[in-house]
Amino acid sequence: MLVAALQMVSTGHWPDNLQQAQRLLQEAARQGAELLVLPEYFCLIGQKDADKLELQEPFGAGPIQHFLARTAQDLGVWIVGGTLPLSTQHADRVYNSSLAFSPQGACVARYDKIHLFRFDNGVERYDESRVLERGAAPVLFELPSRDGHCWRIGMSVCYDLRFPELYRGYAASGMDLLLLPAAFTHTTGQAHWEVLLRARAIENLAFVAAAAQGGVHPNGRQTWGQSMLIDPWGTVLAQQAQEPGVVLAELDPAVLGQRRSQLPALSHRLL
């Protein structure tokens, strides 16, 4: 299955971000990608955290969800819509949600980001809990691909990457591919992004598709980028450092079976 991790540099103007996303989705589809993954906050990186509240949509309705559903159907591909703000029961909180759409335009999976990022090094300060409500449950979905393999796909978002127990649970449920839309800061990405992604692939003997924000945004924030696709042995199949682009790689289920047969570590777990 040909998979595309789409890298963006989103702004605070959501219509422009949808146009940027559409160009990348169309380019990836033209190149034959079957699963297309957008980055976290693909629709908005605003001037302040509260901007997410103004853009929020109820689950199942709204221009951003309509865009994702329509584009998946028009292009005949699977799209995982990075993340977008979905409404909660509280006026001052939203979920940071990743939605998967089938080629028929149906939303087949929703994952609400579980782990909320907080970081303060004296210069940069982030605290997602100020406007986000955390999700409560891991989510897997199945993708029957053109190659005849039915992929079991585990969903996650950005800061989740630092919590390996989430992915161990997915592996125990038969995960083949884990997705990670992200907007890693330049500081934390430079230090930890690649090593954590490769570790998650190696320890779970699974493919990884990580789609990132990558550049300097109008609000002054700098994101790390380096969107990449990784195989179950930890080999980076494709990547892009910065700026918008399409990162493509063919994921072969035979490689998955071979690596798990050669090193059956998942069956050796005792704890």
Tens digits of residue pLDDT in 90-141 = 999 999 999 999 999 999 999 999 999 999 999 889 999 999 999 999 999 9
Answer with the residue of higher pLDDT: 185 or 50: 185
Helix (H, G, I), strand (E, B) or coil at 124: coil
Q: How far apart are CA 101 and CA 202, in angstroms?
A: 28
In percent, how much of the chain has pLDDT > 90? 96
Question: pLDDT at position 138, please?
Answer: 98
DSSP track, 149-205: -EEEEEE--GGGGG-HHHHHHHHHTT-SEEEEEE--BHHHIIIIIHHHHHHHHHHHT
Tens digits of residue pLDDT in 145-172 = 999 999 999 999 999 999 999 999 999 9
Question: pLDDT at position 118, please?
Answer: 93
Dihedral sign computed on CA atoms, order 128, 130, 136, 141: negative
pLDDT at position 217 over 90: yes
Q: How far apart are CA 223 and CA 18, in angstroms?
A: 19
pTM for this structure?
0.97
CB 251 within 8 A of CB 207: yes
The residues that are catalytic are 40, 113, 158
Q: How confident is the model at residue 271 (pLDDT cuts 50, 70, 90)?
A: confident
Domain spans of the chain, in order of start = 2-259
Tokens at residue 126, please? 């982030």
CATH class of 2-259: alpha beta
